[in-house]
Amino acid sequence: MSLSLPKALTRLALLTVAIGQLQGETRDWKSADGSQSFAGEYVSHSSTKVTIRRTDGKIFTLDMARLNDADKIWLTGKPTTEEADSEEAAPAEADPKAVFDTLCLGDKRDVVVKKLKASKLVHTEVDEVMMGRVGLNGIYRTRQQIGGLNCELYFDWTGADTLKEVSLQTQTVPKNVYVNRLKATWEELAELLTTLHGKPVQAGAFPGPESLQKDVLVPSHLWKLANGGSALLGTSLEGDKVMIVVRFTTQKIRPVAMP
């Protein structure tokens, strides 16, 4: 299946994810290069170290730099020990309808702006005056890279100025390094989205180079969202460069037969 991207979303790069889950969950942790993994329960983390309880009960602390990018992103949704010690840092209860960070489809534009400003997952170096002139697309970038790639946010709105779609796009890379540069990022995103939104209703293989289409999202995965919308993970071609795209939309997209 292929879906045309809104024109405002076809430029630049995208993606990543999300709100951390409740402390006390046992999960698989991976080394920075992805060659090793182990099961352990998250205990706490600072800006440079993370403390984990292994399944045998042993508690240990390791440098954040030794973790895989997906683990680092998972941790960004949780308060650090420094923040937890601050009375002002009491985390708000996560909204189950949030699709990315705290953003919910249907949010008014002013609400989206407030959430972006307060986010610990994304940031911008553009001042408010300039933002009012150029809009929000491509302005906010994830604080952590995904698979070594920077990611940016793009938005689409209804006529009533409510959020209809939000997309994350990786930075573009040359088509001749498509598989080598993007497949690992695609795998991390598939894992992250499954953690956040459950098992996909459709999951395919990494789209081959021959399936790439200009300014068109060629999805491999489809998730149903708690708000009734859909999430898509796939690839897109922009000129002679390619990128990974995650698209959260109010549309109820149905699975289709894949070749």
pLDDT at position 1, please? 45
* The pTM of the whole model exceeds 0.85: no
pLDDT at position 85, please? 52
| Least confident segment among 70-74, 105-109, 152-156, 186-190 | 70-74
Q: Identify the CA nearest to 66 among candidates 104, 30, 90.
A: 30
Judgement on whether residues 12 and 134 belong to the same structural domain of the protein: yes
Residue with more model confidence, 66 or 7: 66
- As for how many domains the chain has, the answer is 2
Judgement on whether residues 9 and 54 belong to the same structural domain of the protein: no
Burial status of residue 90 (CB atoms within 10 A of its CB: 0-12, 13-18, 19 or more): exposed
Q: What is the pLDDT of residues 186-224, one digit of tens each?
A: 998 998 889 888 999 999 999 988 888 888 899 999 999
CA distance 161 to 89: 31
pLDDT at position 84, please? 54
Would 259 be classed as within a structural domain? no
Of 35, 69, 89, which residue sits at a domain end? Answer: 89
CA distance 255 to 223: 9
CA distance 222 to 219: 8
Contacts of 120 (CB under 8 A, 6+ apart): 76, 77, 143
Q: Identify the CA nearest to 125 among candidates 140, 135, 115, 111.
A: 140
Judgement on whether residues 48 and 153 belong to the same structural domain of the protein: no
- Note down the domain range covering 131: 3-16+94-249
Of 89, 106, 134, which residue sits at a domain end? Answer: 89
